[in-house]
């Protein structure tokens, strides 16, 4: 059993299944990031947290909805301090129960916020496409929806990634010398000899034997 199975368990309930689906999706993104960039997923989390802070800050400035300054501040804090990031679903469950809340409170909040983020982002894209025709009101609506949606997605996605255990990134492969890489590129550009099928060789050999016997 992996650490993710132990500390981000799924009891088969509806909320656990949704939470696990979002968790696994963002875990795959973090794994791909490490395999492609050879950098730790914590770097991607930092980018997402600060991106969320900027997006939600823009939403607050655009709509004057100051309540959203709270998640914006939370995203900025987690982006600055790795220790402030969530450890696992089990840790979140214990924290909720410690303050008298149901253990799965954070899971419900994560699923709700992530779903809202998806819906708001899609709505923002829709308003943006509609506003291209020159409707400034739709264009302004698209900014509100996009900043809110992307801000929520970045924040919760980074939380899911922080709770995943995917190990360290693979070592970055050493680059070949410049001269060797140039030779390989030149070799790719040069015409390659066409391979002669085995049957042709066989026919040539048979023909040569026949001529020799005659």
- Quick one: pLDDT at residue 8? 80
Q: 10 Å Cβ neighbour count for 187? A: 9
Helix (H) or strand (E) holding 64: none
* Token pair in block for residue 206: 């048979």
Number of helical (H) and strand (E) elements in the chain, helices listed first: 9, 0
Torsion angle of alpha carbons 204, 209, 212, 214, nearest 10°? -110
Looking at per-residue pLDDT, the higher value among 129 and 23 belongs to 23
Helix (H) or strand (E) holding 211: helix 198-213
- Quick one: pLDDT at residue 196? 54
Distance CA 57, CA 147 (A): 8
pLDDT digits (tens, 9 = 90+) for 29-60: 999 999 999 999 999 999 999 999 999 999 99
Check if the beta carbon of residue 154 is closer than 8 Å to that of residue 48.
Answer: yes
pLDDT digits (tens, 9 = 90+) for 105-151: 999 999 999 999 999 999 999 988 887 777 778 888 899 999 999 99
- Quick one: pLDDT at residue 203? 59
Looking at per-residue pLDDT, the higher value among 127 and 189 belongs to 127
Check if the beta carbon of residue 113 is closer than 8 Å to that of residue 148.
Answer: no
The pLDDT-based confidence of 186 (bands split at 50, 70, 90) is: confident
DSSP 197: P
Check if the beta carbon of residue 89 is closer than 8 Å to that of residue 19.
Answer: yes
pTM: 0.79
């Amino acid at each position: 059993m992996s650490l993710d199975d132990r500390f981000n368990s799924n009891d088969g309930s509806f909320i656990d299944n949704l939470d696990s689906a979002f968790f696994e999706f963002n875990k795959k993104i973090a794994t791909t990031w490490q395999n492609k960039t050879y950098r730790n997923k914590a770097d991607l989390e930092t980018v997402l947290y600060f991106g969320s802070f900027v997006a939600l800050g823009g939403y607050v400035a655009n709509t004057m909805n100051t309540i959203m300054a709270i998640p914006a501040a939370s995203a900025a804090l987690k982006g600055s301090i790795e220790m402030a990031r969530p450890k696992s679903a089990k840790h979140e469950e214990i924290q909720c129960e410690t303050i008298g809340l149901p253990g799965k409170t954070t899971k419900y909040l994560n699923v709700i916020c992530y779903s809202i983020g998806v819906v708001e982002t899609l709505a923002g894209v829709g308003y943006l496409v509609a506003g291209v025709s020159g409707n400034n009101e739709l264009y302004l609506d698209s900014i509100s929806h996009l900043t809110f949606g992307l801000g929520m997605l970045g924040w919760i996605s980074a939380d899911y990634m922080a709770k995943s255990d995917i190990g360290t990134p693979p070592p970055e492969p050493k680059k070949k010398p410049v001269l060797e890489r140039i030779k390989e590129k030149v070799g790719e550009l040069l015409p390659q000899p066409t391979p002669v099928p085995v049957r042709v060789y066989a026919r040539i050999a048979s023909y040569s034997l026949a001529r020799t016997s005659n």
